Structure 1
Amino acid sequence: MTRDSFESDLDALRADIRAMGEDVTDRLDRAVTAYERRDPAMGRAVAEADDEINERYLELERDCIDLIALQQPVASDLRFIAASFKILTDLERIADLASNLGAYAHEMESETIPNVPIADIADMALAQLDGAMTAYEERDAERCRTVAAADTDLDQRCAAATDDLVRSLVNQAPEEDELESLMADTQRFLLTVRDLERIGDHAVNIAARTLYMVESSDELIY
């Protein structure tokens, strides 16, 4: 394979991973919308579409392996392929979390818990993911650091949302026949917040691997 052909394959890999990132971001956005609207049909559709992402993940993983095994890349090319391989794993796990959110929306009772908004938390997580993928596509080291720095704000907002729910539940006195549903939906809310926080963590992982790819720096990995 000529160098030009190899470069073309690397460009194709970058474009394919960026496209997968856009698809995962769209699924996450729809899962959050389903949760906010208490739309079980939309939530179920997101939850049931996870196999498509899994198949793309395996295809792109094979592409990474082939590029390493057949081309024996060195230095920056090897870092790019290795980073791409790790980023694929984070995207696949974010898709799993989006599927979880879709399932929570599908199972959530209509009005059993107080309406504690999560839209701002979701917006923060989506912004981190989009920033991380843009940094990967554009090889932008400073954007990687910006994504990592934003994770503290997301963690604090998730903690605040949990506190808000607990405070709102303190004065509730549910009927006995409502208690089981209330407990189940409370757990789903807490899992939703936890999963959004984890999405931010995966976005930081993507930024960390991108920074290593660009500058050979592990400052965000540990």
Structure 2
Amino acid sequence: MPRESYQAKLDDLREDVLYMSEVVLDRVRQGLEALQSKDEQLAQQIIDGDSEINQLYLDLERDCVDLLALQQPVAGDLRFIAASFKIITDLERIGDLATNLGEYTLEADREMYPEVDIQAIGDAVVEMVEESMDAYAEENIDATFDIAARDDEIDDLCANASDAVVRDLIEREIDDQTSEEEIERLMADVSRLLLTIRDLERIGDHAVNIAARTLYMAENDDELIY
């Protein structure tokens, strides 16, 4: 294959990975919107759309395998293809977490814990993923370290939110007049909220993974990979 054609395929791979990230992030934003507005129709669209993300992943996986098998890349090109393959795996998993948000929306009975700002946590992790993909697109080394450093902030936000939910549950008055059905509904809502917080934290973790693979791709530096 002529060098120009090979380079074009590498460029196409980068653009396709970036496109997949746009689709995935749009689903996360929709998931947050569905949770906030209790929009069941939007939630179902997110769930139904998971197959599109899975297909994007499979198509890009095939492209990566073809480039590895047919072109036998070395050095920087090899790291780029390998990093791209790992990044689409993280993106596919973020897509799964977006689907979870849709499912939580369908299952939730009522609004609880207004003091827990799920939207703020969601906005923060979406921004992290956006920045990690910008770093991948531009091979921005400094940004990869900044993104990794921000993970502690996300962890703190999620820990504080989870603590608030558990503290409220402990302090909530449940007496002999509280029906078993009410208790079950309460526990189900608490469980869903804690799972939502956990899933948002995991999206932040995937953003760090993307930054780590970008650093390895650009500098052959595995410092952020763990």
Aligned to 2:215: 211
Aligned to 2:113: 114
Deviation at 1:101, TM superposition (A): 1.0
**Does 2:33 match 1:33?**
yes
Deviation at 1:21, TM superposition (A): 0.3
1:126-158 CA distance string (max 9 Å, x none): 011001100001111111111111000000000
Deviation at 1:118, TM superposition (A): 0.7
d(CA) in 2 for partners of 1:132, 1:114: 31
Read off the aligned partner of 1:105 and give its amino acid letter: T
d(CA) in 1 for partners of 2:57, 2:195: 25
1:71-125 CA distance string (max 9 Å, x none): 11111000000000000100000000110111001111123x3222211110111
Deviation at 1:45, TM superposition (A): 1.4
d(CA) in 2 for partners of 1:96, 1:217: 29
1:156-188 CA distance string (max 9 Å, x none): 000000111123333433531311111111100
Aligned to 1:14: 14
Aligned to 1:194: 198
d(CA) in 1 for partners of 2:37, 2:168: 20
**TM-score, normalized by length of structure 2?**
0.95
1:30-65 CA distance string (max 9 Å, x none): 001111222222112112210110011000000000
**Does 2:177 match 1:178?**
no
Matches within 5 A, 1:158-173: 158-173=158-173
8 Å Cα contact 1:114/1:169 also seen in 2: no
d(CA) in 2 for partners of 1:37, 1:140: 36
d(CA) in 1 for partners of 2:36, 2:172: 22
**TM-score, normalized by length of structure 1?**
0.96
Read off the aligned partner of 2:57 and give its amino acid letter: Y
d(CA) in 1 for partners of 2:52, 2:183: 37
Aligned to 1:129: 129
Read off the aligned partner of 2:190 and give its amino acid letter: T
d(CA) in 2 for partners of 1:95, 1:76: 28
8 Å Cα contact 1:135/1:143 also seen in 2: yes
Structure 1 gap segments, 5+ residues each: none
State the aligned residue count.
221
d(CA) in 2 for partners of 1:153, 1:2: 47
Q: CA RMSD in A?
A: 1.1
Any runs of at least 4 consecutive aligned residues in structure 1 with deviations exceeding 3 A, and if so which? none
